[in-house]
Protein backbone atom coordinates (compact mmCIF):
# COMPACT_ATOMS: atom_id res chain seq x y z
CA UNK A 1 0.00 0.00 0.00
CA UNK A 2 1.39 3.36 -1.06
CA UNK A 3 0.45 6.25 1.25
CA UNK A 4 0.52 9.64 -0.45
CA UNK A 5 0.41 13.22 0.77
CA UNK A 6 -3.05 13.35 -0.82
CA UNK A 7 -4.21 10.56 1.56
CA UNK A 8 -2.85 12.50 4.51
CA UNK A 9 -4.36 15.80 3.36
CA UNK A 10 -7.76 14.12 2.94
CA UNK A 11 -7.61 12.83 6.50
CA UNK A 12 -6.71 16.24 7.92
CA UNK A 13 -9.31 17.90 5.69
CA UNK A 14 -11.86 16.62 8.13
CA UNK A 15 -12.34 18.68 11.26
CA UNK A 16 -14.40 16.03 13.11
CA UNK A 17 -12.12 13.22 14.23
CA UNK A 18 -12.78 10.29 16.54
CA UNK A 19 -9.86 8.89 18.51
CA UNK A 20 -10.10 5.18 19.33
CA UNK A 21 -7.49 4.43 21.93
CA UNK A 22 -8.16 7.66 23.80
CA UNK A 23 -6.68 7.60 27.27
CA UNK A 24 -7.57 9.23 30.57
CA UNK A 25 -3.90 9.03 31.58
CA UNK A 26 -2.19 12.31 30.81
CA UNK A 27 1.17 10.76 29.89
CA UNK A 28 -0.21 8.29 27.34
CA UNK A 29 -0.19 8.80 23.57
CA UNK A 30 -3.98 8.37 23.50
CA UNK A 31 -4.26 11.47 25.67
CA UNK A 32 -1.52 13.49 23.96
CA UNK A 33 -3.16 13.09 20.57
CA UNK A 34 -6.47 14.42 21.86
CA UNK A 35 -4.78 17.53 23.26
CA UNK A 36 -2.85 18.04 20.01
CA UNK A 37 -5.97 17.73 17.84
CA UNK A 38 -7.81 20.21 20.09
CA UNK A 39 -4.85 22.63 19.97
CA UNK A 40 -5.00 22.49 16.16
CA UNK A 41 -8.75 23.29 16.14
CA UNK A 42 -10.14 19.86 15.34
CA UNK A 43 -13.38 18.71 16.93
CA UNK A 44 -12.38 15.56 18.80
CA UNK A 45 -14.55 12.62 19.81
CA UNK A 46 -12.71 10.30 22.22
CA UNK A 47 -13.76 6.65 22.16
CA UNK A 48 -13.11 4.79 25.42
CA UNK A 49 -15.04 1.82 26.79
CA UNK A 50 -15.36 3.15 30.35
CA UNK A 51 -14.54 6.88 30.49
CA UNK A 52 -17.31 9.47 30.34
CA UNK A 53 -15.02 12.50 29.97
CA UNK A 54 -11.46 12.74 28.61
CA UNK A 55 -9.70 16.11 28.53
CA UNK A 56 -13.04 17.87 29.15
CA UNK A 57 -14.58 16.16 26.11
CA UNK A 58 -17.55 13.79 26.14
CA UNK A 59 -16.24 10.28 25.56
CA UNK A 60 -18.15 7.66 23.59
CA UNK A 61 -18.21 4.00 24.60
CA UNK A 62 -18.49 2.67 21.03
CA UNK A 63 -18.05 3.84 17.47
CA UNK A 64 -21.76 3.28 16.88
CA UNK A 65 -22.51 6.03 19.44
CA UNK A 66 -20.49 8.65 17.55
CA UNK A 67 -22.46 11.51 15.98
CA UNK A 68 -22.91 11.49 12.21
CA UNK A 69 -20.59 14.47 11.65
CA UNK A 70 -17.54 12.33 12.51
CA UNK A 71 -15.90 11.54 9.18
CA UNK A 72 -12.35 10.57 10.21
CA UNK A 73 -11.06 8.16 12.80
CA UNK A 74 -7.64 7.64 14.33
CA UNK A 75 -7.01 4.14 15.65
CA UNK A 76 -4.28 3.71 18.25
CA UNK A 77 -4.91 0.37 19.93
CA UNK A 78 -3.45 -3.11 20.18
CA UNK A 79 -3.15 -4.41 16.62
CA UNK A 80 -5.34 -7.41 17.49
CA UNK A 81 -8.34 -5.04 17.83
CA UNK A 82 -7.68 -2.83 14.79
CA UNK A 83 -9.56 -4.76 12.10
CA UNK A 84 -12.72 -5.01 14.19
CA UNK A 85 -12.57 -1.24 14.77
CA UNK A 86 -12.14 -0.61 11.04
CA UNK A 87 -15.21 -2.75 10.34
CA UNK A 88 -17.22 -0.75 12.91
CA UNK A 89 -16.02 2.55 11.44
CA UNK A 90 -17.03 1.48 7.93
CA UNK A 91 -20.43 0.36 9.20
CA UNK A 92 -20.83 3.86 10.68
CA UNK A 93 -19.88 5.35 7.27
CA UNK A 94 -16.43 6.60 8.30
CA UNK A 95 -14.01 6.09 5.43
CA UNK A 96 -11.07 8.30 6.48
CA UNK A 97 -9.04 5.96 8.67
CA UNK A 98 -5.61 6.51 10.17
CA UNK A 99 -4.13 3.47 11.88
CA UNK A 100 -1.30 4.76 14.04
CA UNK A 101 2.02 3.07 13.42
CA UNK A 102 2.36 -0.21 15.33
CA UNK A 103 -1.44 -0.61 15.46
CA UNK A 104 -1.80 -2.25 12.05
CA UNK A 105 -1.45 -5.94 11.23
CA UNK A 106 -1.11 -8.12 8.14
CA UNK A 107 -4.87 -7.97 7.42
CA UNK A 108 -5.49 -4.26 8.06
CA UNK A 109 -5.26 -3.08 4.46
CA UNK A 110 -7.74 -5.81 3.39
CA UNK A 111 -10.31 -4.56 5.91
CA UNK A 112 -10.06 -0.99 4.65
CA UNK A 113 -9.53 -1.54 0.92
CA UNK A 114 -12.36 0.86 0.02
CA UNK A 115 -11.25 3.60 2.43
CA UNK A 116 -8.72 6.37 2.62
CA UNK A 117 -6.39 4.33 4.82
CA UNK A 118 -3.15 5.61 6.30
CA UNK A 119 -0.89 3.14 8.07
CA UNK A 120 2.69 2.98 9.32
CA UNK A 121 2.80 6.73 9.85
CA UNK A 122 2.73 8.80 13.03
CA UNK A 123 -0.27 11.10 13.01
CA UNK A 124 1.66 13.76 14.96
CA UNK A 125 4.50 13.83 12.44
CA UNK A 126 2.09 14.97 9.72
CA UNK A 127 -0.17 17.33 11.69
CA UNK A 128 0.63 20.89 10.61
CA UNK A 129 2.37 22.76 11.99
CA UNK A 130 4.65 19.96 13.13
CA UNK A 131 6.35 20.61 16.45
CA UNK A 132 8.73 19.12 19.00
CA UNK A 133 10.37 15.78 18.42
CA UNK A 134 7.89 15.04 15.65
CA UNK A 135 9.39 17.87 13.61
CA UNK A 136 12.82 16.29 14.02
CA UNK A 137 11.53 12.82 13.05
CA UNK A 138 9.81 14.30 10.02
CA UNK A 139 13.00 16.02 8.86
CA UNK A 140 14.90 12.71 9.17
CA UNK A 141 12.24 10.91 7.10
CA UNK A 142 12.34 13.69 4.53
CA UNK A 143 16.13 13.56 4.34
CA UNK A 144 16.00 9.83 3.55
CA UNK A 145 13.13 10.22 1.08
CA UNK A 146 10.67 8.33 3.25
CA UNK A 147 7.92 10.98 3.54
CA UNK A 148 4.76 10.34 1.53
CA UNK A 149 4.69 12.41 -1.66
The conformation of residue 60, written as its DSSP 8-state character, comes to B
Q: What are phi and psi of 139, to 5 degrees?
A: -65, -35
Q: What is the pLDDT of residues 84-118, one digit of tens each?
A: 999 999 999 999 999 999 999 999 998 888 999 99
Give me the sign of the Cα torsion angle 127, 130, 134, 137: positive
Condensed to tens digits (0 to 9), the pLDDT of residues 20-73 reads 999 999 999 999 999 999 999 999 999 999 999 999 999 999 999 999 999 999
CATH architecture for residues 5-143: 3-Layer(aba) Sandwich (3.40)
The pTM (predicted TM-score) of the whole model is: 0.91
Closest CA to 88 of 24, 20, 32, 25: 20
Amino acid sequence: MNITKQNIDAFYGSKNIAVVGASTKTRKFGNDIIKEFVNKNFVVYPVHTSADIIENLKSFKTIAELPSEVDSILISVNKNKTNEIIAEAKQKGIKNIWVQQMSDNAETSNYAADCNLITRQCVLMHMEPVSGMHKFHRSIKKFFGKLPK
